[in-house]
Structure 1
């Protein structure tokens, strides 16, 4: 069955052969960082929705078999997220230890070719299984896998982009809930009207201040989109439209960030806001300006200082990938049961190490 197939063509071919036409791969998505265009996150969703865990082994194998391409990895539920770099490598496959890897990732304008190879089930998924997933344009079966045979396939996927919107101060002392408005209503409005996929919703209760409501919540949502400038602007317009209509606070603010690698100083600010009161609004406005972050006041107020919601919005952006800090109570050390959470893709050691290579 060597050749190139769209998912529909591959299903038809398998049906003609009397073989199963479904795959455990639900979604494969490649997302390019805006600021470091040679870096991507590759998201593979495997197995039914709602599983506590599925296929955890891939999280360990890919970085070991393809260290020049897969820089780091994380697995939770049925999602495997790989931080990957464009390039080619000689695979370091070892049966039963690291039996599957990525041989190359090459971008061709708005599409990328990813070559997978592996033994046994890893070879079948490399050459066939992934070709049936949502998000795949087509797959080229280079070598059929299974058993002792090495399977190899070239997967062609769209190159998508990532946008984060981080929001604070949408409620007041009488009504409203920031996490519900941002994490549900705004997200659902986007999903109903645009081709977006949510990647992660970060809900962080920050250091308590008397001016804010009881939980001092700030929320950030990441979405992927087709990479077109008009789509990105449509996302921003819809976010602003819903927030300006439904935010109850005088002080609401939203920050937009293109990409997924959060600047280190913004991350450091997020951790600081988690643990102590931020007094200076000018400092926060200056920090946003230094990183050219677009932000908007979406509250009802017109008085001086109405932008104070920017303090929490920028903090939510800084904490976007930092699950262990989001899990910790404000002002307290990270609890032991949250320390296993990684800092996802924003490990500055990984990014700086890659930057030295290029």
Structure 2
């Protein structure tokens, strides 16, 4: 038989040879969402941008890192994350070498203010693309395009980071904790609580594991942490298949004080009474089955995917 011609991919059954046009401004790519979390004292901000155009996001990552307001930047799945020092900077923009950046960040009681500036296409990204992003409550933006210098200031709700750790929801016959937690997180996400990440954490293979011995941490940026946790707990209790389920919650900016405990649980079997008390942020034990140890251990590994997934045999 002769080779079959592969079918041409098309969207919504439309003929790929006759495009009908572009919806909206053809020179603007709207960011699907921007959220920000701040620490308790307002001395650090993590700006999380959900992007639609990977090339534009990587271009911003490369150039925005030069701003003195930006402490660090990293790509995490469909988001770019900027760790910011609150303050303002007068950026000396130059074509090709430093064409755009974040020039300001400020933290108030209930909102976070972010300012961008750029030249040329960098000005389009700084002004037009971000000012009407999802999650922006109000904005001020310059006309952008061509070779103009343009910028914007956007205001975002001030949110807290909420990390929910879960372990032991399945049985030897059915279920999987990683899928259940993701589906719960998606089900409860709303305007007040944005679901940011899901991390699978490999623990030490204890004898009473189901099979792979992993726990999960789901990350949210929330303006209503208590309501978020309550909704997650109710769905977890409804759908878990195990009587040993554990659920723990960290609310705060940085869970790294829990890393020593998490690493112990990756190295070997750990007693429950070794769960630490912490000074920054709050740690709440919500469902206290045997899985509570793995649930707490997962918390500090959010988005630390390489370390989270590594299997430690007890000698590492």
How many Å separate the matches in 2 of 1:222 and 1:149? 38
> Match for residue 283 of structure 2?
293
> Match for residue 190 of structure 1?
188
Q: 2:36 aligns with which of 31, 40, 49?
A: 31
Taking a change above 3 Å as real, the CA distance of residues 47 and 244 of structure 1, as seen in their structure-2 partners, is closer
Taking a change above 3 Å as real, the CA distance of residues 21 and 167 of structure 1, as seen in their structure-2 partners, is same
Displacement of 1:54 in angstroms is 5.0
Confirm or deny: 8 A CA contact 2:248 2:287 kept in the other structure: no
Displacement of 1:257 in angstroms is 1.0
Q: 2:211 aligns with which of 188, 198, 214?
A: 214
Q: 1:233 aligns with which of 222, 226, 229?
A: 226
> Match for residue 105 of structure 1?
105
Taking a change above 3 Å as real, the CA distance of residues 106 and 290 of structure 1, as seen in their structure-2 partners, is closer
Partner-residue secondary structure (3-state), 1:74: strand
Confirm or deny: 8 A CA contact 1:31 1:162 kept in the other structure: no
Displacement of 1:122 in angstroms is 0.8
Confirm or deny: 8 A CA contact 2:36 2:221 kept in the other structure: yes
How many residues end up aligned between the 2 structures? Answer: 293
> Match for residue 145 of structure 2?
146
Taking a change above 3 Å as real, the CA distance of residues 30 and 322 of structure 1, as seen in their structure-2 partners, is same
Confirm or deny: 8 A CA contact 1:30 1:40 kept in the other structure: no
Taking a change above 3 Å as real, the CA distance of residues 56 and 240 of structure 1, as seen in their structure-2 partners, is same
Confirm or deny: 8 A CA contact 1:204 1:218 kept in the other structure: yes
The gaps in structure 1 that reach 5 residues or longer are 1-18, 299-306, 335-358
Structure 1 position 270 matched with structure 2 position 262: yes
How many Å separate the matches in 1 of 2:286 and 2:107? 34
How many Å separate the matches in 1 of 2:33 and 2:195? 14
> Match for residue 5 of structure 1?
none
Displacement of 1:77 in angstroms is 5.0
> Match for residue 320 of structure 1?
302
Matches within 5 A, 1:166-185: 166-184=165-183
Partner-residue secondary structure (3-state), 1:55: helix
> Match for residue 253 of structure 1?
246
The TM-score normalised by the length of structure 1 is: 0.73
Displacement of 1:36 in angstroms is 4.3
How many Å separate the matches in 1 of 2:38 and 2:299? 16
> Match for residue 137 of structure 1?
137
Displacement of 1:333 in angstroms is 10
> Match for residue 42 of structure 1?
47
> Match for residue 62 of structure 1?
64
Partner-residue secondary structure (3-state), 1:25: coil
How many Å separate the matches in 2 of 1:78 and 1:151? 26
Confirm or deny: 8 A CA contact 1:268 1:318 kept in the other structure: no
Matches within 5 A, 1:302-313: 307-313=289-295
Higher alpha-carbon deviation: 202-211 or 236-245: 236-245
How many Å separate the matches in 1 of 2:249 and 2:272? 18
> Match for residue 244 of structure 1?
237
How many Å separate the matches in 2 of 1:194 and 1:46? 17
How many Å separate the matches in 2 of 1:166 and 1:238? 14
Taking a change above 3 Å as real, the CA distance of residues 281 and 109 of structure 1, as seen in their structure-2 partners, is closer
Displacement of 1:272 in angstroms is 3.1
Displacement of 1:58 in angstroms is 1.2
Taking a change above 3 Å as real, the CA distance of residues 92 and 63 of structure 1, as seen in their structure-2 partners, is farther
Displacement of 1:208 in angstroms is 0.5
Partner-residue secondary structure (3-state), 2:123: helix
How many Å separate the matches in 2 of 1:162 and 1:117? 27
> Match for residue 280 of structure 1?
271
The gaps in structure 2 that reach 5 residues or longer are 1-23
Confirm or deny: 8 A CA contact 1:33 1:261 kept in the other structure: no
Confirm or deny: 8 A CA contact 2:74 2:80 kept in the other structure: yes
Displacement of 1:112 in angstroms is 2.9
